[in-house]
Amino acid sequence: MSGNDPLVKVRGLTKSFGANQVLQGVDLDVPKGSVVSIIGASGSGKTTLLRCVNLLETYDGGSIEVDGVEVGYDLSDGRRRPRGERELAGIRADIGMVFQLFNLFPHLTATENVMLGLRKVRGMGKAEARAAAEQWLVRVGLADKLESLPIELSGGQQQRVGIARAVAMNPKVLLLDEITSALDPELVGEVLKVVRELARDGMTMMLVTHEMTFARDVSSRVVFMDGGRVAVEGSPKDVFGAPAQHERLRGFLARIELRDI
């Protein structure tokens, strides 16, 4: 892989759920250290696209490469062979994901949630994993919640644990799937603040979001998806600046409130 190849390279990606083709040939590059926001109306395929990147959804056609490795299929001997679960586990370990509904393991404390992958996937010893987990939880502002169970945390706190759990694995790219959609408005800011810091530290991120102000501020590129394709792609200024050229984008932006966070 040459030095300026994108970290995530999506080409001609297609995916159907039954008769419904949700992805109709998506091309997308995510350079290392960049933040790419994916926006669009619900049903436009943005979450599906994100979930394909770490193969939580399989894809039908096209390809996704992360750091030069085809994610879903082994192409080594000239044939397209679906990867087994064990192989996928190894690939997924390097791709972090944060979920809309947090999906914290309910039986584990905040620290244990972060430790699980470090111990079982990264093979760290208990003390080392605990230290790393606590360090990340402190960074996301949860120094006083290390031993709390998910049920004892607010939505914003749970989501920050979710972020710590993902970034502690030291992923090559972080996928954020509408991570503030399930939060009360007053809790959105504390979560986005953490994401902003990660962006500043050079974490490569792909995020699906409805927070347009945030997307505008934090992104290097913004992608507007419509009908299973990338309809508009450009810098935040191109996409959110002056009246959009693309009619559907204009309609979409008119329906979305831009609010300050």
**C-beta closer to another protein: residue 41 or 101:** 101
- How far is the C-alpha of 15 from the C-alpha of 61, rounded, in Å? 7
> Does 94 interact with another protein (rule: CB under 8 A)?
yes
> Does 121 interact with another protein (rule: CB under 8 A)?
yes
Q: Which of 9, 15, 46, 92 binds another protein (CB under 8 A)?
A: 92
Q: What would the 3-class secondary structure string for 201-245 be?
A: CCCCEEEECCCHHHHHHHCCEEEEEECCEEEEEECHHHHHCCCCC
> Does 128 interact with another protein (rule: CB under 8 A)?
no
The helix (run of H) or strand (run of E) holding residue 50 is helix 46-53
Shortest distance, position 217 Cβ to another protein, whole Å: 26
Q: Which of 40, 72, 96, 236 binds another protein (CB under 8 A)?
A: 96
CB of 179 closer than 8 Å to CB of 99: yes
Compute how many residues bind another protein; rule: CB under 8 A: 29
First to last CA, the chain: 39
Shortest distance, position 3 Cβ to another protein, whole Å: 27
Residues that bind another protein (CB under 8 A): 54, 56, 85-86, 88-97, 99, 101, 103-107, 116-117, 120-121, 151, 165-166, 169
